[in-house]
Structure 1
């Protein structure tokens, strides 16, 4: 280089200043040639300043060596990414022969990518990472990622130590050298052996890799497992800001996958990670949406998330309410009943866990009870026991507050045993017991109506009349059943069904009468114990 006139000064990204021969450099670089053509007639040394040269000073020196060596350089997997990006930046594809055209030389060398080893492929990809975002606009990055995915996909079908394109058995050297022969026989290992090797890549390259995998119909379950592995591995030695970037990118990529193929346990693990870092609101919403949409896969332990710092209540009830909102999604009709009932059972368990929390407000507790439609529960006994526990812990609630909590109970879905318990339960407001009796009688009337409708084709009718008053002074509804059924043998099944309904109505009548008697006794005892007499609502028949 000392034999040439150094008449051009090049400042590369503020890192280093090079003195080069403008004639030699410009003969290979169309970009330099255009810049010098604008300064014809200048007598002093010229200066070119690059602020965005790919790879900085080290790569500019690589380019000058190519120019001073008359367009000759050894292109290999360890420098091809740098040479490709620099050649494109310097426009080294003009005004020279094909043999001296660096762009064409690198393009030709890329045709040999199928013969590269796995480790050589990773080195070239890592170089592209350092050249972002410039390398994104070049075909070399697409070719490297494409080759990577082909080898990963191929390894799921064959042993990862086999070379897919040549006799060079080191094609998957980085992973195979540290694994035993027996472990290679494991199907799970064959699907995940590449995880560790790709952890070194940054999130931008991983995002491009995942998008390409999805477009090639790659197993989304394997992709999601890799993303969780990637996040966990990268967290070991990065700053808080870098952790936020990694988590947000991983959640964004997981959100683009089929959520049913994503590990539900790992999503809750990610939720715990997010509680310690300041993520964007949209990112948190995406994660909660993924969890909530599959809430029927959750367990009680999953939902018992501690409340955020600065709050007094024990568990994050607001989080569970957001999960329920995501689960219902576009509407109740869009959720299969079987899934709805699973979530109903899970929520009943959750209600029992949070009910003893002395700081849980009645409005939040009621919101949990009413979050799901009535169809989610065949029985409301679980809700009743949770409400009973809540009222026991929150004994200081006013009568009005108690009524608001009890408003969430569907009394028509309480069992006979629970009705008996409610009738003797002093923790519940008296109006609740009355409401329970009203609901019970509505149920009886509904059964009678069904029986009437079922027997309408027959000659006999099912009727009711008011009978004598019980001990509490309330009139009882007595059921007069059909006399004789003039039905043919073809209606034997209908007859058996009607008889079963009649027995059920009789049993319910007995329970109702017993409850009314008990309620009357309880109310009388309350009146005697109170110094100031209060009006007691009359029991409805």
Structure 2
């Protein structure tokens, strides 16, 4: 902290209770009262420095009885008794020390007392202004000075001290952020999936450690500005936006500030020892948020005050998608429900969350039902609205995934094909998230069938590559709602596409007594179709392999090692592509290796069919139904034809 020493004389002021006395050889001839404090001083030192005190002393009218000293009232002086004490010491040329914590109050008091150079060269106003410039050149001291402005408003505003402090802080933060981004931004932009949020990695790898170092270079000022009051913090953020600071840095500062301002955001720790970095995406994870200043008492404020703080914080958040973590937004939404914030505030949060729902986690999406009428354990309607906002924000070709119908329409219209979709499209991630959410809320016996169906039906069928997740959620719901009728169970099962179940899910569904019999048969039917297609494919491969072998020897008797692509007609050995899967055909082998593989596969399929027959019998189906089903699928006849053919070879 920078300091400045003024005066040369030793201290002659003595405090006696609520009275300050100047201990000199002369008797005091003036009393200045500031609040509860009284100062017994001398007129001459005050007249030589302060124009206001000079005027008040000259205008003073003694009482009619002529008794008592000159008494002045200065109750409205900025900074109160503490600021006047420093000003009085300056008038007596007693040693004082200026620092960032008292310079603002002293500057405002000097202005109030009219201590200009017109009365004495190098008066208090000039000295305070000179030192204030040094204070604003330092970041920490600028923050301290801005904090002290709260106690001397509106004098600090009138003297432009508040805008000067805010401008100095905004300029320093923006310059540091721009320099850090130019140095570390390229590295942070290419991080792997181990990054938590905003380029901050886990630190377990050199890459993560580099990202953590880059983040530390960008967020070093978060904790300092979090000590400001909400009005000052709001003005500082607006000044940073005006200077074009990155939205990511502004969002990070607001998130850190909100972690202290609103204790309800942290569900797992108390407000006094909350660490913001551990809760919202790893921002400044090493910083310990020990509340000080005005923010330390917010845990005891009323709900109305906290509701006001919450709405102001939400209004400050940048509108750019993705700069504010979804985890933090869901925490704000949970707090907004707890404090019964305005519907407009909650709708704003739900829209923001819906726009980046693919980044949400299941744990944070489980928002408790805090309404006046509690029907279910979790707020299903809120998640339904968020999911609707997500689907409305999807534009098909711009989301990384194109629905089959949209792609077909585009090809018919002659539109160019979309770029290769990423490994995991946002809508696929949301589909997986919602399947997990449905499984979590399914055990709630108060959850109505219509609400469960409505939530599950929002995600389109093409978003799920496998329907195991929705099947699991349906099974949990059926187990918890065993009183559903057969028609209601069938209606629920329409949410599931039996053709997209994995082998494990099909096996479980075939033994699931909670499913309607019609659905079980449908699962078995589609599994039979899979078996039939698989067997037909193997026979097709084996026939082509045999044909290719004969053709190779017929047309190329000299080529003992001809290469024939699988599943293709006879081709010249020189035309085989390097990337094609090939089979080496030798005169001695005659494709025997391929045929043995086909036989082994058919044997495995026959065992699976026997196992499925046993499951059908266990469910009470007559054997005739199995034979009819296999004849319809054409499986039995194909196997019977295949066995003699293979035995002959």
Same fold (TM over 0.5): yes
C-alpha spacing 1:261/1:110, structure 2 compared with 1 (3 Å): same
Match of 1:261 among 320, 323, 347: 323
Give the match for residue 189 of structure 1: 216
Determine if the alignment matches structure 1 residue 142 to structure 2 residue 201. Answer: no
SS state at 1:193 partner:
coil
C-alpha spacing 1:219/1:417, structure 2 compared with 1 (3 Å): closer
What is the TM-score when the length of structure 1 is the normalising length? 0.56
Give the match for residue 362 of structure 2: 300
Distance 1:242 1:335 in 2: 45
Determine if the alignment matches structure 1 residue 248 to structure 2 residue 342. Answer: no
Q: 1:225, CA displacement in angstroms?
A: 3.0
Give the match for residue 58 of structure 1: 82
Distance 2:336 2:174 in 1: 35
SS state at 2:33 partner:
strand
Give the match for residue 80 of structure 1: 103
Distance 2:449 2:57 in 1: 78
C-alpha spacing 1:231/1:255, structure 2 compared with 1 (3 Å): closer
Match of 2:352 among 290, 310, 313: 290
Determine if the alignment matches structure 1 residue 96 to structure 2 residue 113. Answer: no
Alignment RMSD (CA, Å): 5.4
Distance 2:483 2:390 in 1: 34
Distance 1:253 1:424 in 2: 54
SS state at 2:447 partner:
coil
Q: 1:64, CA displacement in angstroms?
A: 2.9
Give the match for residue 454 of structure 2: 367
Q: 1:295, CA displacement in angstroms?
A: 0.7
Asked whether the 8 Å contact 2:171–2:240 carries over to 1, the reply is no
Structure 1, residues 224-259: CA drift from partner, whole Å, max 9, x if none? 334444454673254423597676278336524534
Determine if the alignment matches structure 1 residue 390 to structure 2 residue 477. Answer: yes
Aligned residues: 406
Give the match for residue 481 of structure 1: none
What is the TM-score when the length of structure 2 is the normalising length? 0.48
SS state at 2:445 partner:
coil
Asked whether the 8 Å contact 1:292–1:323 carries over to 2, the reply is yes
Asked whether the 8 Å contact 1:27–1:95 carries over to 2, the reply is no
Asked whether the 8 Å contact 2:110–2:125 carries over to 1, the reply is yes
Structure 1, residues 96-141: CA drift from partner, whole Å, max 9, x if none? 3583654444334434446x55554444344334445653444223
Consecutive unaligned residues in structure 1, runs of 5 or more: 160-181, 437-517, 523-541
Asked whether the 8 Å contact 2:350–2:385 carries over to 1, the reply is yes
C-alpha spacing 1:209/1:43, structure 2 compared with 1 (3 Å): same
Match of 1:206 among 215, 221, 233: 233
Distance 2:148 2:210 in 1: 31
Consecutive unaligned residues in structure 2, runs of 5 or more: 1-21, 65-69, 181-208, 262-270, 273-290, 402-424, 523-615, 621-649
C-alpha spacing 1:322/1:383, structure 2 compared with 1 (3 Å): same
Asked whether the 8 Å contact 1:10–1:20 carries over to 2, the reply is no
Determine if the alignment matches structure 1 residue 223 to structure 2 residue 272. Answer: no
Distance 1:92 1:404 in 2: 84
